[in-house]
Structure 1
Amino acid sequence: MAPTNRVLTAEHLTRFFGRGDTRTTAFRDLDVAVPRGEWTTVLGPAGSGKTALFECLTGLALPSEGSVFIHDGKHSRRRALELSSLSDNARTRLRRSRIGALPSECDLMPSLTLRENLLLGTRLARHRVDRAAFREQCADYGLGAHLRKSPDSVPADVRLRARLLRTLLTEPDVLLLDEPTAALEAGQTADLLQLLRELVTAHHTVVVCTSDDRMAEQGDHVLMLPGGLPAGVDRPHPGSPGDSRVPRMPALKGVPPVTAPPRPAQTEPDPVAAELLPVPASRLQVTTPGEEPSRC
């Protein structure tokens, strides 16, 4: 995979907590490549290290060993930026501009209205927002009637859509979400899946860390963490023949890859800005026996 086709890469990544006899390893010697303009799902049960990986990829925490790089797709000759070489403030600025991070816990300010929360990120990033476009985006995300409300007074799915739009307003290179469906009902999860697929159709890069198999069914790539099924699994792009494979995600070292079963060709929906279009159902089923979806 060419450097310009990658947004994030991780090399020999290890994260552990504690010392001596109490030390716990979240993951060890992990290599990851996130393709630009596609949907990558990091799938695993509770305790498999999904949140720890999310924190390393977003710069919220530094790995115990290894490196995470963000690549510039607009300037192929520009050197990749290593997150661990940056100060805390520099990584914070990076999350305001190039890395969109949505942790599992709601991070909206309860003392502000939804509208004020939406515009807070752009002000901190000194990013200009067109007012007419902003009103249209709020309507597209179903937020128009909630803009003057506090985050605590709206349903969980409205809060999630507000957080998602707040992040997208700064036009990040990649959007990463940690357990986004944990507080959603079944119908709300279906709406989120459609929204994320629409974003990828519009050439956004999406990474979802989750224990929810439905995320894997809709994504383009699946990276399994230990404790789930063994391997990195790729699906064909929507609209491509079932035997035409996209570049494979690096498998976890020492674990054989699993190949996704073929599926019939499907027509990819046209990108739209105002409507959430239905997304063709995936034929790939990724499950872990006895696993129950839970918070990371």
Structure 2
Amino acid sequence: MLAVVGPSGSGKSTLLACLSGLETPLRGSVMIDGVNMRGLSPQRSARHRRGRVGFVFQSYNLLPALTARENVSLPARLARRRADRKTVDDALAAVGLLDVAHRRPDELSGGQQQRVAIARTLVVEPEVVFADEPTGALDSVAGAGVLSLLRDRAAGDRAVVMVTHDLAAAARADRALVLRDGKVHAELHHPDAEALFTAVERAAAPA
């Protein structure tokens, strides 16, 4: 589990988009499962991501015409993976939303929509989950539950890359990168919140 932290405008979300294949970097390469994403056409990149990568968007990106249950099942259907009713409901239950599975996004709070977006990503069991502020719209209890789900996901041959302003959340990671002006300012292994706070403060200080 890798956390990416840093001052606002340091390039965290841009880095996440490049790593996940949603954007193409101008230089360098992004390797996912041995494949250089920079060299793929948009169509091939989309197919590769669909099979291996999950993305939790800060803006949720739920389809307004679909219920929570239908939103969660959609990526699996697009990837032609099995997503039966029980699998989808188990994912919703894991984020505490099985009781609102029939509701559409406009009938849900921001925090509920965020948890639907997380369930939608986890149901396909991607090899890498990229999460942009996954706890940003959640209260402390719901946020802790989501972090536990992501922490559990980062095991074996699966990984989680998370951008966050929440240093307590970042402290759950195995490693943290502190960005400043699009560059790695510091790298911490098994960080605690205090060490992260100090590193981010230094990154935010005038050069």
Identify the TM-score tier after normalising by the shorter chain.
Answer: 0.7 to 0.9
Contact kept in structure 1, 2:2 and 2:176, CA below 8 Å: yes
Aligned position for 1:285: 195
Q: CA deviation at 1:173?
A: 0.9
CA offsets 1:87-125 (integer angstroms, 9 cap, x no match): 111112222210111222120001111111111111111
Aligned position for 1:47: 9
Q: Which amino acid aligns with 2:67?
A: T
Equivalent positions of 1:216-227 (< 5 A) are: 216-226=170-180
Aligned position for 1:120: 74
Contact kept in structure 2, 1:54 and 1:176, CA below 8 Å: yes
Moved segments of 4+, more than 4 Å: none
Contact kept in structure 1, 2:114 and 2:137, CA below 8 Å: no
Aligned equivalents of 1:136 and 1:202: distance in 2?
21
Equivalent positions of 1:1-296 (< 5 A) are: 39-71=1-33, 80-200=34-154, 204-226=158-180, 230-235=185-190, 282=192, 285-287=195-197, 288-289=200-201
CA offsets 1:211-257 (integer angstroms, 9 cap, x no match): 2212221111001111699311101xxxxxxxxxxxxxxxxxxxxxx
Aligned equivalents of 1:50 and 1:283: distance in 2?
18
Aligned equivalents of 1:114 and 1:56: distance in 2?
28
CA offsets 1:52-80 (integer angstroms, 9 cap, x no match): 10110111110011100012xxxxxxxx1
Q: CA deviation at 1:162?
A: 1.4
Q: Which amino acid aligns with 2:188?
A: V
Distance 1:112 1:134, change over 3 A: closer
Gap runs ≥5 in structure 1 = 1-38, 72-79, 236-259, 261-281
Q: Which amino acid aligns with 2:187?
A: G
Q: Which amino acid aligns with 1:285?
A: A
Distance 1:135 1:106, change over 3 A: closer
Aligned equivalents of 1:156 and 1:45: distance in 2?
24
The TM-score normalised by the length of structure 2 is 0.86
Q: CA deviation at 1:47?
A: 0.3
Q: Which has the higher contact order (CA 8 A, sep 6+)?
A: 2
Aligned equivalents of 2:123 and 2:144: distance in 1?
23
From the two aligned structures, give the one with the greater helix fraction.
2
Aligned equivalents of 1:138 and 1:201: distance in 2?
21
Aligned equivalents of 2:109 and 2:149: distance in 1?
17
The TM-score normalised by the length of structure 1 is 0.62
CA offsets 1:249-275 (integer angstroms, 9 cap, x no match): xxxxxxxxxxx5xxxxxxxxxxxxxxx
Aligned equivalents of 2:26 and 2:78: distance in 1?
30
Q: Which amino acid aligns with 1:175?
A: V
Identity within the alignment, %? 35
